[in-house]
Amino acid sequence: MPETLWHCKVKEFGPLIVAIDAYGRNYFEEKKAEYDRRKEAEIARILPQVGFIK
């Protein structure tokens, strides 16, 4: 139970991205890990074609 409950009225609130959900999953960390996996695969694919990139 919260010690304080705030009730606020706002206009034009959003779009909103929830980074951590109720189950503790962190959206930004998951996407960063996915990006890193995909980046390594793409670097391996193009490295033979452009050998000066490392």
What is the tens place of the pLDDT at every residue in 2-53?
A: 678 888 888 888 887 778 888 888 888 999 999 999 998 898 888 888 877 6
d(CA 33, CA 50): 25
Q: Are 44 and 50 in contact (CB under 8 A)?
A: no
What is the tens place of the pLDDT at every residue in 24-36?
A: 888 889 999 999 9
Provide the whole-model pTM. 0.47
Task: Give the number of residues written for the chain.
Answer: 54
Q: What tokens were used for 13?
A: 């609130």
